[in-house]
C-alpha cells in the first residue's frame, strides 16, 4: 500500500505520455511549414505544463526498491520528451527547420528510453503496436529460448566498412524460420535511429526486421551513388550473416532525400529487393544512366507523393511517373491530396507495407 501513490503517478504519467506521443506523431505527419503556429498550438494544448508537473511529482515520491532503475530511466525519458516539446514550441530566433530536427532527435531519445521500459508501462504498450496486434502482445514479447542473437532495437556505430545503422529484430525472433526485412532510408540531415520509429510499430506487429541506415554524409550520396550503395550493401550482408533473413522478401523505402536514394539503390541493386517505395522523393538526373540501360525495369516501384509537397513539387513527380511508365518500368503512383512533406508513420502502416505484402516473393 505504501507504493500505491507512486504506481498511481506512473499510471497517470503513462496516460498523459500516450496522448502526447500520439498527438506529436500526428503533428509531425501533417505539418505544414506555412502553418507552424497551428501545429504549435495543437502540441501546447496536449502538453501544457504536464512535464514540469510530472517531474515535480516524481521528485517528491520515492520509488519502490525494485523500481529504482526504472525510476531513473522514466525520469530521463520524461526529460527528453519535455525537451522535444520545448524545442518545437519555442524555436526562438533559430530557423524552425533546425528546431524541428532538434525536437525530433530529443523525442527519439525519449522513445528509446520508454521502449526499453515497456515491461513496466502497460498503458504505453498501445503505442508500440498496431491495434489489431494488441491481443498478441505477450506472444510478440516472448523471446525464443534458443534465439542465440540480440533482439529488439539496436544501434550500430560507424565502421570502416559502413556508416552507422539502427536495426530492429522482433523480440519473438525465431532463428528456425526466415523473416522479411524492410530497409528504410531517412530524409536529409536525418539519422537511422530517427527514421526507424516511422516503421517500428508495423514491423513489431507483423514480424519484420528493420534496417535503418545512416547516410555516409549528412544526406545520401546522389552525386556519387556507389558511396551509400556500398555502405548499405555491407550493412545488409552483415545483418544477413547474423539473422535468418528471407531474401525473397526484402523491401526498400525512404522519405524525401531517402526517397530519392531509394530509386538509386533499388535500380542499382534490383537483385536485392522485392519492391521499392520512394516517398516524397525526387527524380534526380543521376538516375538517367540507369533508366537508359533500363536497369531494374521489372522491379515493382510504388511512388507516394503529396499534393502539397513544398520541396519536390508534385507536378515534377507526375512527369517522372509518366516517364517510368512510358519506358516500361513497373511503377505504381499514389498521390495524397491532403499531404505535404513530412514524416510517414501512417503512410508506412496503411499504404506502403500493405503494398509490399501484396507483392509476390522474389525468386532467389
Question: At residue 2, does pLDDT exceed 80?
Answer: no
Among candidate residues 354, 355, 20, the one with its CA nearest the CA of residue 205: 354
Name the DSSP letter for residue 112.
Answer: H
CB within 8 Å of 194: residues ≥ 6 apart? 104, 105, 108, 186
* Angle, alpha carbons 132-209-362 (nearest 5°): 100
% of the chain with per-residue pLDDT over 70: 99
Report the distance separating Cα 289 and Cα 358, nearest Å: 30
As a whole number of angstroms, the distance between CA 255 and CA 253 comes to: 7
Non-local (6+) Cβ contacts of 344 within 8 A are 29, 198, 255, 279, 280, 352
When mean pLDDT is compared across 2-16, 106-120, 243-257, 340-354, the lowest value belongs to 2-16
Across the strands, what pairs with 276?
252, 301
322 has a pLDDT exceeding 70: yes
Distance CA 208, CA 133 (A): 13
Model confidence pLDDT, tens digit, residues 52-85? 999 999 999 999 999 999 999 999 999 999 999 9
CA dist., res. 217 & res. 215, Å (int): 5
pTM, whole model, 2 decimals? 0.96
Separation CA 251–CA 183 (nearest Å): 6
- pLDDT tens digits for 160-200? 999 999 999 999 999 999 999 999 999 999 999 999 999 99
Assigned C-alpha cell, 21: 506521443
Pick the range with the lowest mean pLDDT from 1-10, 110-119, 313-322: 1-10
- Cα angle 188, 194, 197 (rounded to 5 degrees) comes to 125
| 212: enclosing H helix or E strand | strand 209-213
Please give the CATH number for the structural domain made up of 133-357. 3.40.50.1820
pLDDT higher than 80, residue 91: no
Query: Long-range contacts for 203-207 (Cβ within 8 Å, ≥24 apart)?
Result: 203/168, 203/170, 204/128, 204/129, 204/133, 204/140, 204/168, 204/170, 204/171, 205/129, 205/130, 205/132, 205/133, 205/140, 206/130, 206/133, 206/353, 207/170, 207/172, 207/179, 207/180
* pLDDT for res 93: 55
Q: What is the pLDDT of residue 33?
A: 82
The per-residue pLDDT for 184 is: 98
The percent of residues above 90 in pLDDT, for the chain, comes to 94
What is the band of 92 on the pLDDT scale with cuts at 50, 70, 90? low
The answer to whether 280 touches 306, Cβ cutoff 8 Å, is yes
Q: Sort residue 280 into left (φ over 0), alpha (ψ -120 to 50) or beta.
A: left
> 319: which 3 cell numbers?
512527369
Place 96 in a pLDDT band, splitting at 50, 70 and 90: confident
Amino acid at each position: 500500500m505504501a507504493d500505491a501513490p507512486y504506481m498511481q503517478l506512473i499510471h497517470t504519467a503513462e496516460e498523459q505520455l500516450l496522448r502526447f506521443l500520439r498527438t506529436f506523431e500526428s503533428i509531425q505527419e501533417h505539418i505544414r511549414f506555412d502553418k507552424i503556429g497551428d501545429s504549435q498550438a495543437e502540441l501546447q494544448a496536449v502538453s501544457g505544463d504536464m512535464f514540469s508537473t510530472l517531474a515535480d511529482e516524481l521528485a517528491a515520491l520515492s520509488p519502490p526498491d525494485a523500481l529504482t532503475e526504472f525510476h531513473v530511466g522514466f525520469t530521463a525519458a520524461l526529460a527528453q520528451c519535455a525537451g522535444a516539446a520545448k524545442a518545437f514550441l519555442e524555436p526562438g530566433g533559430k530557423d524552425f527547420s533546425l528546431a524541428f530536427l532538434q525536437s525530433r532527435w530529443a523525442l527519439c531519445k525519449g522513445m528509446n528510453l520508454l521502449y526499453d521500459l515497456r515491461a513496466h508501462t502497460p498503458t504505453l504498450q498501445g503505442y508500440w503496436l498496431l491495434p489489431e496486434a494488441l491481443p498478441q502482445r505477450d506472444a510478440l514479447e516472448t523471446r525464443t529460448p534458443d534465439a542465440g542473437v540480440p533482439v529488439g532495437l539496436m544501434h550500430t556505430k560507424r565502421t570502416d566498412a559502413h556508416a552507422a545503422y539502427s536495426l530492429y529484430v522482433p523480440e519473438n525472433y525465431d532463428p528456425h524460420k526466415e523473416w522479411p526485412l524492410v530497409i528504410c532510408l531517412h530524409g536529409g540531415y536525418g539519422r537511422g535511429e530517427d527514421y526507424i520509429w516511422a516503421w517500428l510499430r508495423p514491423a513489431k506487429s507483423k514480424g519484420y526486421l528493420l534496417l535503418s541506415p545512416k547516410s555516409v554524409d549528412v544526406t545520401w550520396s546522389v552525386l556519387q551513388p556507389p558511396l551509400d550503395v556500398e555502405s548499405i550493401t555491407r550493412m545488409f550482408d552483415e545483418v544477413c550473416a547474423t539473422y535468418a533473413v528471407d531474401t525473397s522478401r526484402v523491401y526498400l523505402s525512404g522519405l524525401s532525400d531517402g526517397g530519392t536514394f531509394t530509386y538509386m539503390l533499388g535500380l542499382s541493386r534490383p537483385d536485392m529487393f522485392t519492391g521499392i517505395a520512394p516517398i516524397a522523393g525526387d527524380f534526380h538526373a543521376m538516375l538517367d544512366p540507369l533508366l537508359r540501360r533500363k536497369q531494374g525495369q521489372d522491379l515493382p516501384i510504388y511512388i507516394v507523393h503529396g499534393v502539397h509537397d513544398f520541396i519536390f513539387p508534385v507536378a515534377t513527380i507526375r512527369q517522372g511517373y509518366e516517364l517510368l511508365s512510358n519506358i516500361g518500368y513497373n511503377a505504381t503512383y499514389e498521390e495524397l491530396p491532403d499531404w505535404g512533406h513530412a514524416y510517414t508513420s501512417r503512410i508506412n502502416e496503411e499504404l506502403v507495407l500493405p503494398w509490399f505484402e501484396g507483392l509476390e516473393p522474389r525468386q532467389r
